[in-house]
Amino acid sequence: MSKTKFITTTALMIAVTVVLQLTTSNLPLGAAKQFVTGSCVNMCLIISAGLAGLWSGAAVGVVTPFIALALSLSQPFFTPFIAIGNALLVTLYSLLKEKKILSLIVPAAVKFVFLFVSINIMVRVMQLPEPSAAAMSFAFGWPQAVTALIGTTAAMLILPGIKKAILK
């Protein structure tokens, strides 16, 4: 892939991810909003990696949490962990993509475990009051595994069509 195509694809996927974050974060879905937004973001990460490779997916995964922070869609203390979790998801997907079931389950599980453990440590270090601590523990708990599985599945289903359309 040429540098121009790599940069263009990566920039486009960053833009698509941010637009989806902004759009879905304004939906009146209550707690379900995390499932929609997270699934869309994870789908974009995998599509980026599928179209332009590991480094594109990793760039989208690392840059977009900081853009979300700048847009007040995220909290500063947790943003680096989200970026690392995204990079883990994309890296493991890229390494395992030839093994369909493993490329779906392993990246989601690793992202979930990383975020759950790191956020729970941060919650304790920051000594958040119990209602906030419980909310953060939940948000970075099992819903992360679910959104990673949904996003990866969606990406795996639509990537062949996107590739076919691009190659026309």
Counting runs of H as helices and runs of E as strands, what totals does the chain give? Answer: 7, 0
Q: Is 5 helix (H, G, I), strand (E, B) or coil?
A: helix
pTM: 0.93
Distance (Å, whole) CA 153 – CA 156 = 5
Q: Are 46 and 93 in contact (CB under 8 A)?
A: yes
Neighbours of 94 (CB within 10 A): 19
CA gap 56, 10 in Å, rounded: 5
pLDDT one digit per residue (tens) for the chain, 168 residues: 789 999 999 999 999 999 999 999 888 888 788 999 999 999 999 999 999 999 999 999 999 999 999 998 888 888 999 999 999 999 999 999 999 899 999 999 999 999 999 998 988 888 888 888 888 888 888 999 999 999 999 999 999 999 999 866
